[in-house]
Structure 1
Amino acid sequence: MDHGRVFPHGAYVTGEVSPVLDFDASTKDRPVPARDRETGELVWAVPVMDGDPTLKAASKSVAVKIVSNTQPEIPAAPPQMAALGLTLVPVEFVGMAVTPWVNPAGRLAYSFKARGMRPAGPPARAKSHGGDA
């Protein structure tokens, strides 16, 4: 699935990439990294803020899982954001998959998985309605 369909208003990394642990195989003293069921590759999680202004605060934060045998690196913040001291890093996810599921509260939720991430491209221009100005 295309990144723009999942995050049409952008996605912003808000923290560090961390390994996902295999819940069933891990113990308190022996963490076991999770592996993707289809590829056998390691699974990583990156916290992301959805840029959609219509979402409630509780719905803006999501984790995107990245399937890769090497730990994904967060791209550098664009110079204009770094100069302002902003810690949000705009990214695009590659090879996205979205899986719906029902959470313990009985509500529809979504799991986000990607093959990688890269720096976000320039923002899409709004389409003009009605001719050139």
Structure 2
Amino acid sequence: MALQGPVPVTFAMVFPHGCYIVGEVEPVKDFDASSNGRFVQARDKQTQELVWQVAVMDGDPTLKPAQKTVAVKILAPVQPVPPAPMPGLPFTPVEFDGMSVTPYVNAAGRLAYSIKVHEMHAPRQTNQTNQTNQTAKVGKDAA
């Protein structure tokens, strides 16, 4: 099969309704290398970069509560800093770049996905205002 390993995806494909940080950015433990109380941080098998993890809540309103929170692994040489909280919001919105998913079968025998990213940042401003203005202009010109 030609498709092997992590599958590149975009943020909009994985989180079309956005997502929100609901946990701390933490190092991922390498269970094979850690022993006798000594913590060894995991490294990505392909890039050898350190692996960090953050829990995020998917903004999709149709998901069941148990499906809303997922772990996102961040590959970075130093601990990533989450975006600043936004006033008036209970959770901090976040976006990711350099995303990939790796399918696997979990302990319950169900298909699951590991989400890895290379960058975490605050959501970028959309051009929704410009799109609305363009639509209004096209509608006006057509009349």
Q: TM-score range by the shorter chain?
A: 0.7 to 0.9
The one-letter code sitting in structure 2 at the alignment partner of 1:106 is G
Which residue is 1:56 aligned to?
64
Distance 1:123 1:53, change over 3 A: farther
Structure 1 counterpart SS, 2:13: helix
Bigger share in helix: 2
Runs of 4+ more than 6 Å apart:
none
> How do 1:110-125 and structure 2 match up within 5 A?
110-122=113-125, 125=128
The one-letter code sitting in structure 1 at the alignment partner of 2:57 is M
Distance 1:48 1:74, change over 3 A: same
Match of 1:7 among 9, 15, 19: 15
Report how many residues are paired. Answer: 125
- Unpaired runs of at least 5, structure 1: none
In structure 1, distance between residues paired with 2:23 and 2:113:
20
Which residue is 1:100 aligned to?
103
1:39 CA displacement? 1.3
Using the size of structure 1 for normalisation, the TM-score is: 0.86
Identity %: 54
Distance 1:99 1:89, change over 3 A: same
The one-letter code sitting in structure 1 at the alignment partner of 2:26 is S
- Unpaired runs of at least 5, structure 2: 1-8
Using the size of structure 2 for normalisation, the TM-score is: 0.80
Structure 1 counterpart SS, 2:82: coil
1:120 CA displacement? 1.1
Which residue is 1:65 aligned to?
73
Structure 1 counterpart SS, 2:62: coil
Distance 1:7 1:101, change over 3 A: same
Which residue is 2:45 aligned to?
37
